[in-house]
């Protein structure tokens, strides 16, 4: 069964090709490319990816304008029906701005843009996106962002931790995120937002392949081994 995925491109997205390439290399099927102004998604999608970048120039707040674009209404409806949605970097910001994930991403506490490899600890290895890892496993995934400082109030953070919705945590907190959170899941477990870029770590020429298991987990979980 072919894996039907889509990568959404907003004006200012710049990791959409990397994301599409990763999905195609791991699944064997090229994803649909969907433009922000489209009102409808292709039929029968197994997976939707919101890529990194600087949608709408980061005007207003990172991800704010993108989250109100026409295609996001369709993405929100699909996510609510259970279609898996992965948001990476700017995609994570779009997911919080759209209300699909709790919290917000503030300017890095160090002020500077942070671009480096980050070691992450896999906190939840049971989810659709993380079943290819082991709980507590440390993986190295690149980060490249200015606004990745995850914020939510204490009550929300306690709930996220209590429900196992913290997918990844930074081994070394590179951006000041609350409780070093690098990636969070929604309550149903079909939406994952993360600042680090797994699509930049899927083949040895990338300098590491620790991101590959994320895509493999999702594809295996959705269309079988």
Partner 1 sequence: MKVRVHVSLKPGVLDPQGRAIHHSLEGLGFTGVNDVRAGRLFELDVADSTSDETLDDMCRKLLANMVIENYRIEKVAA
Task: Report, as residue numbers or ranges, the catalytic residues.
Answer: 89, 197, 199
Q: Is 140 in the site for partner 1 (CB under 8 A)?
A: no
Q: Which of 107, 159, 179, 206 binds partner 1 (CB under 8 A)?
A: 107
Least CB distance to partner 1 at residue 103 (A)? 6
Q: Output phi, psi for 111, to 5 deg.
A: 70, -40
Report residue 56: phi and psi, to 5°: 50, 35
Among residues 31, 52, 84, 102, the one that binds partner 1 under rule CB under 8 A: 102
Query: Could you tell me the smallest distance in angstroms from the CB atom of residue 154 to partner 1?
Result: 10
Dist. CA 133–CA 4, nearest whole Å: 23
Task: Examine residue 111 and tell whether it contacts partner 1 (CB under 8 A).
Answer: yes
Span near partner 1 by CB under 8 A; candidates 13-21, 28-36, 146-154, 207-215 = 146-154
Selected binder of partner 1 within 176, 183, 198, 211 (CB under 8 A): 176
Place of tokens 């991101």: 211
Among 78, 104, 140, 223, binds partner 1 (CB under 8 A): 104
Indicate the DSSP class of residue 107.
Answer: P
């Amino acid at each position: 069964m072919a894996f039907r995925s889509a990568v959404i491109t907003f004006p200012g997205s710049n990791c959409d090709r990397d994301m599409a390439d990763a999905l195609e290399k791991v699944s064997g099927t090229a994803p649909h490319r969907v433009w922000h102004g489209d009102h409808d998604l292709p039929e029968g999608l197994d997976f939707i990816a919101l890529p990194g970048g600087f949608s709408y120039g980061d005007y207003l707040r990172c991800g704010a304008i993108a989250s109100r674009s026409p295609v996001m209404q369709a993405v929100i409806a699909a996510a609510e029906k259970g279609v898996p949605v992965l948001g990476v970097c700017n995609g994570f910001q779009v997911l919080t701005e759209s209300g699909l994930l709790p919290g917000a991403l503030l300017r890095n506490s160090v002020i500077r843009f942070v671009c480096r490899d980050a070691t992450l600890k896999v906190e939840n290895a049971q989810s659709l996106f993380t079943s290819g890892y082991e709980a507590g496993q440390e993986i190295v995934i690149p980060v490249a962002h200015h606004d990745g400082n995850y914020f939510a109030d204490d009550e929300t953070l306690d709930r996220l931790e209590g429900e196992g919705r913290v997918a990844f945590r930074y081994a070394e907190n590179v951006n000041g995120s609350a409780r070093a959170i690098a990636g969070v899941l929604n309550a149903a477990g079909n939406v994952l937002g993360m600042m680090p870029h797994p699509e930049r770590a899927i083949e040895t020429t990338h300098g590491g392949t620790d991101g590959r298991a994320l895509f493999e987990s999702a594809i295996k979980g959705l269309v079988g081994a």
